C-alpha cells in the first residue's frame, strides 16, 4: 500500500512537471505570436494611414469636381 502511494506521488510529480513544461511552451508560443502581431501592426499601420489619407484626398477632389461640373 505504501509502495503504491510512493508510485502515485511519483506519477503525479511527473505529470505536474509535464504540465508545467507544456504551460511554459504555450506561454512562449503566445508571446511569439503577440510579438509577430506587433511587428505586423508596426509595419502595416503607417501604410493604412497613408491609404486613408489618400482616399480622403481623392474624395475631396471628387467632391470638388462634382460641384464644379454639376453645380453650374
- Please give the chain's pLDDT, 72 residues, in tens: 888 888 999 999 999 999 999 999 999 999 999 999 999 999 999 999 999 999 999 999 999 999 988 875
Phi, psi of 71 (to 5 degrees): -75, -15
Report the pLDDT value the prediction gives residue 48, as an integer from 0 to 100: 95
Report the pLDDT value the prediction gives residue 1, as an integer from 0 to 100: 86
Alpha-carbon torsion 9, 13, 14, 19, what sign?
Answer: positive
* The model's pTM: 0.58
Query: For residues 10 and 17, what is the distance between their CA atoms, to the nearest angstrom?
Result: 10
Amino acid at each position: 500500500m505504501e509502495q503504491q502511494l510512493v508510485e502515485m506521488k511519483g506519477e503525479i510529480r511527473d505529470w505536474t512537471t509535464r504540465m508545467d513544461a507544456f504551460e511554459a511552451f504555450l506561454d512562449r508560443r503566445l508571446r511569439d505570436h503577440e510579438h509577430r502581431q506587433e511587428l505586423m501592426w508596426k509595419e502595416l499601420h503607417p501604410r493604412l494611414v497613408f491609404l486613408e489619407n489618400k482616399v480622403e484626398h481623392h474624395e475631396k477632389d471628387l467632391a470638388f469636381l462634382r460641384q464644379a461640373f454639376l453645380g453650374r
